[in-house]
């Protein structure tokens, strides 16, 4: 569990500054490389890999006892399968038309990876909230991942063909029109643009029935209570008068139970060394703030769908007293699923890759974002990134959305993804490529439905593998 210091970030090098007209011309020229209508539809290549093989290859680098939980969660529905199958879709996207217009990609821009959280100035903002796969690449890969997620989720909700198509087109129209608006704005205005949750609810409320608006406002109100104090009440108990993280295996397991053969003093010493290494990656003010907290306990915590099996920890710290908690999530950062197809990351430390991508794409990021590299009890060095566990976290209740509610949510996601891409890519070129008409929107709607068909076939392949005994799945966990 010894640590090594994170390497310095690569230098930016010389930056070109072409005039606006030239940038827009580049976007229009990209239409001859990949026409906007060429993005429609999906046909699996003859040499497409078995999706179960792709997932099993990922599983090889994960905690063996947790992999069946991942498969069990993926088998809940084709939508949960889609959430966990970013690696499968990354390989598929590499076979689709590419414009050559690159941005910093989220890498896993499905609709459940958007949500609300607290900004450093204590406003509840709506943004992308998962960057495990972030990497520079073709802008259309994120857009297609988002579009298909709405088609898959719409099927899961029982929406008909027309309803699903309207939802996807709304997301794509918002992405395209927002990018065109950003193309007319100054660099600073684009950089400062953000979507606060209350404003978003009010903006899209006219298109949603009163019941849906009321539900959305309840989600917003609940978010304010989802913080470290809430985590304190949910995730800790007293042991011999001292607060400790609860044990709820296999989902929550304190380190003292996870590595019983290692003396507790040794574990604590090494964990503190790791925390010091992490602290050095924070920006000045946050570094000083963290120094005021003492580490109390650490545990493994299983989260999400696609992330299950990666090494994830929660660190429990206390400030001035027992009512001043801070919970940090320490999450393993492996190679992005995009790297075999978009090229290796310029960062040799994958935790730093995640954090740098998040800083670039989000309008307001967690002040405790940082990274570490640590060697585990098995002698393997692994990369991790760190963020707050809960900080006014708000997630859309996709399972209860009506078509109108999902349409409104699609607009929020489309706006947000356009803003994220406009910060790192050439927004003038992107706007010029997509244009003022709806050709791009309709093409992506066609792609979304065709890929939703593929996703259902892949879901069935995993279900068949479990039934045949080739894959073990643990459901209900």
Walk along the chain (477 residues) and give the pLDDT tens digit of each residue: 333 333 344 455 788 899 999 999 999 999 999 999 999 999 999 999 999 999 999 999 999 999 999 999 999 999 999 999 999 999 999 999 999 999 999 999 999 999 999 889 888 999 999 999 999 999 999 999 999 999 999 999 999 999 999 999 999 999 999 999 999 999 999 999 999 887 777 777 776 777 777 777 777 777 788 889 999 999 999 999 999 999 999 999 999 898 888 888 888 888 888 899 999 999 889 999 999 999 999 999 998 999 999 999 999 999 999 999 999 999 999 999 999 999 999 999 999 999 999 999 999 999 999 999 988 777 889 999 999 998 888 888 899 899 999 999 999 999 999 999 999 999 999 999 999 999 999 999 999 999 999 999 999 999 999 999 999 999 999
d(CA 182, CA 176): 10
Q: Which residue is associated with the tokens 């993926």?
A: 74
CA 427, distance to chain mean position in Å, is 22
State whether residue 445 is helix, strand or coil: helix
Helix (H) or strand (E) holding 370: strand 370-375
- Residue closest to 352 by CA, chosen among 377, 373, 337: 373
- Residue closest to 237 by CA, chosen among 290, 315, 297, 294: 297
d(CA 180, CA 423): 13
Between the CA of residue 160 and those of 151, 165, 369, 423, what are the distances in Å? Answer: 10, 9, 41, 35
Per-residue pLDDT at 284: 81
Contact by Cβ (8 Å): 258, 300: yes
Contact by Cβ (8 Å): 77, 112: no
The span from the first CA to the last CA of the chain, in angstroms, equals 29
pTM for the complete prediction? 0.94
Per-residue pLDDT at 11: 52
d(CA 461, CA 353): 32
Per-residue pLDDT at 273: 87
Cis peptide before 250 (omega within 30 of 0): yes
Per-residue pLDDT at 393: 85
**106, burial (CB in 10 Å: exposed 0-12, middle 13-18, buried 19+):** buried
CA 403, distance to chain mean position in Å, is 24
Find all residues with CB under 8 Å of 246, minimum gap 6, and list them.
Answer: 235, 236, 237, 252
**Dihedral over alpha carbons 190, 26, 432, 106 (to 10 degrees):** -50
Q: To 5 degrees, how large is the angle CA 36–CA 39–CA 44?
A: 160
Per-residue pLDDT at 394: 83
β strands within 28-129, DSSP E = 102-105, 114-118, 124-128
- The number of helix segments (H) and strand segments (E) in the chain equals 19, 13
Between the CA of residue 223 and those of 44, 116, 227, 316, 390, what are the distances in Å? Answer: 41, 8, 8, 20, 9
Per-residue pLDDT at 4: 32
Based on C-alpha coordinates, what's the Rg of the chain?
22
Per-residue pLDDT at 6: 37
Contact by Cβ (8 Å): 256, 316: no
Length of the chain: 477
d(CA 315, CA 187): 38
d(CA 6, CA 374): 10
Contact by Cβ (8 Å): 210, 404: no
């Amino acid at each position: 569990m010894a640590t090594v210091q994170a390497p310095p970030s690569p230098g930016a090098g010389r930056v070109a500054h072409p005039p606006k007209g030239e940038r827009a011309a580049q976007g229009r020229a990209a239409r001859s490389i990949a026409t906007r209508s060429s993005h429609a539809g999906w046909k699996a290549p003859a040499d497409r890999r078995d999706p179960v093989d792709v997932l099993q290859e990922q599983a090889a680098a994960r905690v063996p006892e947790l992999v069946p939980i991942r498969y069990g969660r993926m088998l809940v529905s084709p939508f949960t399968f889609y959430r966990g199958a970013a690696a499968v879709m990354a390989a598929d996207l590499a076979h689709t038309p590419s414009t050559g217009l690159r941005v910093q990609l989220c890498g896993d821009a499905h609709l459940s990876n958007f949500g609300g959280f607290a900004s450093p100035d204590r406003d509840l903002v709506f943004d992308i909230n998962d960057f495990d796969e972030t990497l520079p690449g073709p802008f259309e890969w994120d857009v297609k991942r988002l579009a298909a997620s709405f088609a898959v989720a719409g099927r899961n909700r029982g929406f008909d063909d027309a309803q699903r198509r309207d939802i996807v087109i709304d997301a794509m129209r918002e992405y395209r029109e927002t990018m065109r608006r950003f193309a007319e704005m100054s660099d600073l205005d684009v950089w400062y643009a953000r979507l606060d949750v209350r404003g978003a609810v009010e903006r899209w409320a006219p298109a949603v029935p009163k019941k849906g608006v009321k539900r959305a406002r309840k989600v917003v109100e609940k978010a304010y209570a989802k913080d470290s104090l809430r985590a304190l009440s949910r995730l800790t108990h007293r042991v011999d008068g001292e607060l400790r993280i609860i044990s709820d295996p296999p989902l929550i397991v304190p380190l003292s139970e996870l590595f019983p053969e290692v003396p507790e003093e040794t574990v604590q010493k090494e964990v503190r060394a790791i925390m010091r290494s992490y602290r050095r990656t924070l920006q000045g003010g946050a570094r000083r703030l963290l120094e005021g907290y003492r580490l109390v306990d650490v545990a493994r915590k299983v989260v999400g769908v696609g992330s299950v099996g990666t090494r994830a920890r929660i660190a429990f710290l206390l400030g001035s007293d027992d009512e001043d908690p801070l919970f940090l999530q320490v999450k393993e950062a492996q190679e992005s699923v995009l790297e075999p197809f978009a090229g290796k990351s310029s960062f040799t430390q994958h935790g730093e890759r995640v954090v740098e991508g998040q800083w670039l794409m989000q309008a307001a990021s967690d002040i405790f974002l940082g990274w570490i590299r640590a060697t585990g009890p098995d002698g393997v060095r692994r990369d991790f990134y760190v963020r707050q566990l809960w900080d006014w976290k708000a997630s859309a209740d996709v399972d209860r959305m009506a078509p109108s509610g999902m349409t409104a949510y699609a607009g929020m996601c489309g706006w947000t993804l356009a803003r994220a891409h406009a910060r790192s890519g050439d927004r003038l070129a992107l706007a010029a490529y997509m244009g003022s008409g709806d050709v791009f929107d309709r093409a992506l709607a066609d792609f979304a439905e065709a890929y939703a068909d593929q996703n259902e076939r892949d879901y069935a392949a995993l279900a068949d593998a479990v039934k045949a005994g080739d894959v073990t799945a643990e459901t209900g966990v």
